[in-house]
Structure 1
Amino acid sequence: MSAVQELLLLPLALLALQASLCRGACVEVDSNTEAVVNEGFKLGCISCKKRGEVPATATVDWYFMASDETFYSPLYSYDYENKRDEITDSRFDDRLAWNGSKKTDDLQDGSIYILNVTFNDTGTYKCIFTRTLKYSNFHYPINTNKTIVMKVVPKLTRGLASILSEVMMYVTIIGLQVWLAIEMIYCYRKISAAGEEALRESAAEYLAIASESKDNCAGVQVAE
């Protein structure tokens, strides 16, 4: 392989190395709040680490307060570092599953999944991240909590914003199709007009050449 080829392949190798080291970005998205009875529902809870270059460990604890209660009770805890998870509320026995980060000691997605939702699951849920940043000389603990007010309904209802967004989507699609049709007609007419103009110019040029040729022939005949 020539030196020039090696120089050309070097940037590609660097790009491939960077791509292999890339990790997905963390985005804190709010959880849905409307669950359907007898169906599954994901309680989303994401807490992104602000200092990505600092190693850390984290645990997640969930708490639940029913709509007719005035205090939170422990619901679920997850500690990936120690390979431990536990459902601490008997009302959710065999109905909770981990749906967050996996294969990492530093949890950023602490979501859980409820199976077979019941109307009794209506209430307020709170997830608390306990994260410990591990600096070289000390450890720095951080607590982050998020609250989700969940409502259980017989069937999923669509909000006004969802309906309006769908209507706007169809209006936009139809508008783009109409605009595209107008542009095609305009371009066709412009090309057609340009073609006719070119034909007229070609015909005029042909007539001018023919007339000039005729005059030349007449001059030759007079000279003879």
Structure 2
Amino acid sequence: MGRLHLFDMDGTLLYGSAASVEISRQLGLDQEIAALERAFIAGEVTPVRFAELACELWAELTEEVVATAFEGAPWLAGIREVWADIRARGERCAVISLSPAFFVERLTLWGADAAHGSRWPALPFREPVEPDGILSASAKVRIMDELCAQFGLSRSDCVAYGDSLSDTALFAAVPASVAVNADHHVSALASYAYDGRDLREAYELVRADG
């Protein structure tokens, strides 16, 4: 039977970082985004408000800056190899992240069958954020169900990889999960735990058991 491997991006595929951090670094806004990230983690701003404030910070963001941030980000080693192996085995892989889709969707070029992120305004930002386009933790479960329907699979066929609070709903909905460089929010829920910088090693925990 096929399986669907679902990967978080920030803090999971990206080692100790996030799309917002990498983009802000390119714009010289490290301190500003750090303060906003702290407020988000503390629950002081919602995902929608985070997007609105980040759009204000990134007023002149361009596709070129996003590309540079993506290419220079601290990705785990072995992502392409893992996804190639998954697909060679007749399985599927997808990324679901709360980060902007214009960053997340670049991962389809590395072999992901699908990549879902929040829908932000087109670059450069001239339109307001549409709240309905901003994903939440619960949206990850909804997207998983949509992908399962698309690929002819069910939740029982899914494996989730994540690191933090935004992954808890997904971890609770699937039979197998891997906490990757994770915090306490998901560690207790995970089937497996991995700390390191090579996705091949995290993936081997699931593959060896499958």
* TM-score, length of structure 1 as denominator length: 0.22
* TM-score, length of structure 2 as denominator length: 0.23
Higher relative contact order (CA 8 A, sep 6+): 2
Q: Which one has a bigger Cα radius of gyration?
A: 1
Higher-helix-fraction structure: 2
Higher-strand-fraction structure: 1
